[in-house]
Amino acid sequence: MSLTQPQTLEVCWNPAELLLAYQQALQVKIETEPLQLSGIFEAGNGQLYGAYYYDRIRDEKAQARVNLLVPRQLKTNLHDGMQVQLRGMLQRKINANGYFTLQFIARDLLQQNAPENQDPDEIRRQELWEKRLQQPPVMIEEVLRTAWTQGENPTICCLMPSGSIVEQEMKEAAGAAADHFQWDLRRTAFHQKNVLFQSLREADANAPNLIALVRGGGEGLEIFNDPELAEHALNLKSPWVTALGHATDRLFLKKIAHQAFNTPTAFGQFLAQCFERYHEQREHSKAKIRQEVMQHFQGQLQSMEKQQLLLHQQNKEQKELSEKWQLEARRQGEQITQLLRDMEQRQQHFLQEKEQLSQSIRQQQRQHESQHQKLQNKLRTAYIFAILAGLALTFILIFLAR
């Protein structure tokens, strides 16, 4: 007899399920408790994402680095190159490509030591960085959206180096959305500070919706680390952004800008995405308004139908009541007519009876008068007879007395 091995049921995974399984399977105690972390602080691009700035902390003796999430209230006390000791929580993340990353979420700053022999320009940059953090945040997309909402195309004043092709790259990246901006393209000399400062002042004087410093990569980017240029930029009244160099170029002006883009192409893509989101939201708002209007009219129509039905019912009731009143009025009219007829007949009968009574009274009166006349005649005759009898008796007595 041959023995067969039992078949093992194979499970089919997709990549997302596999990564999630590993993420849930790894149990590290250090991730569940607060801990302290010390090292050299390395500032990121200075952009606030949600509630955190994304920076890094480097080992003092090695090149090991950990991503650092810094809340706004701690950011003002942290400067690039400073030795710090932080308290917070360690968080492990796995991205869509299967790479595990560690990031430390800072909660408290326990200790900070300024680096020795710090460059004066670096000290000035730290002061400017603190000044930048004290300024209210500016949402560039909201600035553009406000202009569109008011029925205007946002004005973008772009300062670009002479002879550069960044204008073409930027507009090609913006695509069809480029037609929905008013472009104020100005060529200036980025390598001459006084000329660049004057260009910034002139651009700001026109109060555009947005000022953009746009330049490709290559040599001559040191100007964008100059504290004097940063101070001029921080004093601008208009919102301003940078689209300078490449993603690997760590420039101080990028750090303090209201929003920084790695390349002019990225800036153009951002503009296209802003307009696309605004257009989609506007269309969605229009559809929502149309739906609300339709619902409103449908509600009014239903209300009118209910009112019409109620009026119809009321008219029907009033009609029935009117018919009842007409019937009742007709009946009462007939009764009144009959009563009038009866009264008329009774009046005629009464008049007849009155006439008959009058005739009877007159007849009785005539009879009474006749009887009275007869009685008077009889009395008169009797009176005469009495007188005559008296005279006769008198004569008899006189005769006898003789």
Q: Does residue 251 share a domain with residue 167?
A: yes
Residue 8 has pLDDT above 70, yes or no: no
Q: Does residue 71 share a domain with residue 179?
A: no
Q: Model confidence over 277-287: pLDDT tens digits?
A: 999 988 887 77
For position 141, what pLDDT does the model report?
93
Q: Kindly list the distances between the CA atom of residue 218 and the CA atoms of 35, 242, 246, 266, in Å, as whole numbers in the listed order.
A: 42, 16, 9, 17
Q: Is position 60 within any domain?
A: yes
**Token pair 């000329």 in the structure block, residue:** 195
Residue 44 CB partners (closer than 8 Å, separation 6+) = 53, 54, 55, 56, 255
Q: What confidence category does residue 289 fall into, taking pLDDT thresholds of 50, 70 and 90?
A: confident
Q: Does residue 166 share a domain with residue 89?
A: no
C-alpha to C-alpha distance for 200 and 212, rounded to whole angstroms: 10
Residue 51 has pLDDT above 90, yes or no: no
The CATH number that applies at residue 92 is 2.40.50.140
Q: Does residue 54 share a domain with residue 153?
A: no
Q: Does residue 206 share a domain with residue 158?
A: yes
Q: Give me the mean pLDDT over the 321-349 stretch.
A: 88
Q: Is position 47 within any domain?
A: yes
For position 1, what pLDDT does the model report?
44
End-of-domain residue from the set 228, 258, 277: 277
Residue 31 has pLDDT above 80, yes or no: no
Q: Does residue 61 share a domain with residue 27?
A: yes
For position 268, what pLDDT does the model report?
94
Q: Is position 3 within any domain?
A: no
Q: Is position 262 within any domain?
A: yes
Q: Does residue 94 share a domain with residue 181?
A: no
For position 210, what pLDDT does the model report?
95
Mean of the per-residue pLDDT values of the chain: 85
> Could you tell me if 244 and 251 are in contact, meaning their C-beta atoms sit under 8 angstroms apart?
yes
Q: Is position 392 within any domain?
A: no
For position 275, what pLDDT does the model report?
94
Q: Give me the mean pLDDT over the 384-395 stretch.
A: 88
Residue 396 CB partners (closer than 8 Å, separation 6+) = none
Q: Does residue 169 share a domain with residue 71?
A: no
C-alpha to C-alpha distance for 271 and 144, rounded to whole angstroms: 9
Three-state DSSP at 355 gives helix
C-alpha to C-alpha distance for 310 and 306, rounded to whole angstroms: 6
Q: Does residue 245 share a domain with residue 159?
A: yes
- Can you say whether residue 125 is alpha, beta or left, with left for phi > 0 and alpha for psi between -120 and 50 degrees? alpha
Q: What are the backbone dihedrals phi and psi of residue 108, each rounded to the nearest 5 degrees, phi first?
A: -140, 145
Q: Is position 347 within any domain?
A: no
Kindly provide the residue ranges of all beta strands, DSSP E only, lying in 151-227, ordered along the sequence: 155-161, 182-188, 210-215
Residue 259 has pLDDT above 50, yes or no: yes
Q: Does residue 44 share a domain with residue 161?
A: no
Q: Does residue 184 share a domain with residue 101?
A: no
- Candidate ranges 45-49, 260-264, 349-353; pick with highest mean pLDDT: 260-264
Between 314 and 156, residue with greater pLDDT = 156
For position 230, what pLDDT does the model report?
92
* Structural domain span for residue 251: 140-277
End-of-domain residue from the set 221, 243, 277: 277
**Token pair 């900070």 in the structure block, residue:** 112
The CATH number that applies at residue 232 is 3.40.50.2300
Q: Is position 284 within any domain?
A: no
The whole-model pTM stands at 0.54
Tokens representing residue 288 in the block:
């929502």
Q: Domain total for the chain? A: 2
DSSP state of 115: P
Q: Is position 37 within any domain?
A: yes
